Amino acid sequence: MPVAAIGQLCSTSSMTHNLSQARSLIAKAASAGASALFLPEASDYIAPNAAATISLCKPVESSEFVLGIQKEAQKHKLPINVGVHEPTSDGKKVKNTLLWIDAHGSIIHRYQKLHLFDVEIKDGPILKESNSVEKGTSILDPFSTGVGKVGLLICFDLRFPEPSLALRHRGAQIITYPSAFTVPTGKAHWETLLRARAIETQSYVIAAAQSGPHNEEKTRRSYGHSMIVDPWGKVVAELGGEEDENGRGLDIGEIAFAEIDVDLVEKVRREVPLLRRTDVYPDIG
């Protein structure tokens, strides 16, 4: 069976640093014989504020990070799913996008994040993604890969069942949620939501995550706990992510693997058929 790899890193505002982390993960995935590597949201950089998020953004054609990932994919003949930023047409905001780079190093699919993370948690983080990010306007149809038929979603999309159900309706066997979840929301909801999306869509869920503090001031930290969940809701691969007493994110630069059994997807769907009552409520597709 094909093997999927999830890589965990801690992106900073330095694309050179982040590319170095990603290259290490790519080498590990390739040496283990993975059929595809899944990297987190915003792997190219995580900036300290909205202005820096916009100023650091480059088109993929000139992004040292994206060009470096494409080169590594070609070198190792390894498809890579990676979250990056792309400029909007007017340059006033960025797009939070997810790229599928094939084994030849070509970008063949991209998805732009639909739901933006605008939260203000008491005694917790205040994040307004919409200050610097343009929301997407469509769902990308699932596409065939060496690990199965993949549907792309990103981070905060996880809180909305509708897009994952739409992807399932369109034939997805795997749904991705590359993320940079905050620590409070991660502790509260990360695993619960991932398992819920896997169970209700009867699909594999692959969620590569950022982990640890993204700047020296530690004003932005991510939860980690990259995870693969099977269509029965079982966690079949997981990395750590709690910070140690020195504030270093654990399992940064680490990788986990799981076999992807598309026959299991079909078995679960056959044995527990979800016959929707679209005569009572709207179909999602």
Q: Is 58 labeled as catalytic in the residue annotation?
A: no
Q: Is 10 labeled as catalytic in the residue annotation?
A: no
What is the biggest distance separating any 2 CA atoms in the chain, rounded to whole angstroms? 56
85, 127 Cβ separation under 8 angstroms: no
Give the list of residues 6+ apart from residue 122 with CB closer than 8 angstroms, or none. Answer: none
> Shortest CA distance to 42 belongs to which of 118, 122, 116?
116
Strands (E), 174-213: 174-176, 204-207, 211-213
Alpha-carbon separation of residue 137 from 95, 111, 134, 140, 244 (angstroms):
11, 10, 9, 10, 40
Active-site residue (options: 58, 93, 95, 113): 113
Q: Which residues of 23-60 are buried (b: 16+ CB within 10 A; e: fewer)?
A: bebbebbbeeebbbbbbbbbbbbbbeebeebbebbbeb
130: amino acid identity, one letter: S
Active-site residue (options: 41, 72, 129, 238): 41
DSSP state for residue 233 in the 8-state scheme? S
Q: At what angle do helices 161-169 and 183-201 cross, to 10 degrees?
A: 30
Q: Is 86 labeled as catalytic in the residue annotation?
A: no
Question: How far apart are alpha carbons 203 and 94 in whole angstroms?
Answer: 30
**What distance lies between CA 235 and its chain's CA centroid?**
16
Residue labelled with tokens 């992106």: 11
Question: How far apart are alpha carbons 82 and 66 in whole angstroms?
Answer: 9
- Residues with catalytic roles: 41, 113, 155
